[in-house]
């Protein structure tokens, strides 16, 4: 399935009620499976022309032109201090919209591949163990077992903290 085929209704159908289930987008980065809440996902695009910007941290791959808007692109693998993502045939950019400090920010994250949208019961998300994590503890919302495999649910607002990223620019 093409990454662009996942763009539409799956992400817009989730309502803002007290449902104990939330939808999560699962994807691969650095041979690990991660999940993020679909409420912040705007779309998924093919990896294309990313313009590098001088003097940026290694994890900022550059910027793209998304229908006339300049969108910064973060290499998730590099953000996790695991080296740069190697572009493959399934590499894509997940476009996210997040509200931080009262302002809406649109960012893209480079991932190896997008897997699926799944529903997870909030009660099933368990705290991550204190040891054995391959990424910063504050990046992890929790762990959940899906079809016999554990996946890491990311605290994407922390991973893409605009204030933290901005502080690394100086």
Chain segment 64-87, per-residue pLDDT in tens: 999 999 999 999 999 998 999 999
Q: In the prediction, which pLDDT does 134 show?
A: 75
Mean pLDDT of 102-129: 92
With cut-offs at 50, 70 and 90, classify the pLDDT of residue 39.
very high
Could you tell me whether strands 92-100 and 41-46 are parallel, antiparallel, or unpaired per DSSP bridges? antiparallel
Handedness of CA 127, 129, 135, 137 (dihedral sign): positive
Domains and CATH numbers, the chain: 3-167 (2.40.50.180)
Contact 76, 29 (CB under 8 A): yes
Could you tell me whether strands 103-111 and 69-75 are parallel, antiparallel, or unpaired per DSSP bridges? parallel
In angstroms, the CA 120 to CA 147 distance is 12
Mean pLDDT of 113-131: 89
| CA atoms in the 13 A half-sphere facing the CB of 17 | 6
Contacts of 128 (CB under 8 A, 6+ apart): 137, 140, 142, 143, 152
In angstroms, the CA 101 to CA 99 distance is 7
Mean pLDDT over each residue of the chain, to the nearest integer: 84
Q: In the prediction, which pLDDT does 135 show?
A: 84
């Amino acid at each position: 399935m093409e990454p662009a085929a996942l763009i539409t209704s799956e992400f817009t159908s989730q309502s803002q009620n007290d449902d104990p289930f939330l939808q999560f987008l699962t994807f691969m980065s650095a041979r690990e499976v991660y999940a993020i809440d679909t409420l912040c996902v705007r779309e998924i695009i093919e990896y294309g022309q990313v313009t590098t910007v001088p003097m940026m941290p290694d994890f900022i791959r550059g910027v793209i032109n998304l229908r006339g808007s300049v969108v910064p692109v973060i290499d998730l693998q590099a953000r996790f201090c695991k080296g740069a993502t190697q572009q493959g045939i399934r590499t894509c950019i997940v476009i996210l919209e997040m509200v931080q400090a009262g302002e809406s920010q649109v960012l893209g994250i480079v991932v190896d591949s997008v897997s699926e949208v799944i529903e997870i019961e909030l009660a099933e998300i368990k705290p991550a163990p204190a040891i054995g994590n391959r990424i910063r503890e504050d990046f992890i919302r929790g762990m959940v077992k899906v079809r016999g495999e554990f996946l890491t649910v990311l605290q994407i607002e922390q991973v893409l903290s605009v204030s933290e990223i901005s502080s690394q620019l100086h």
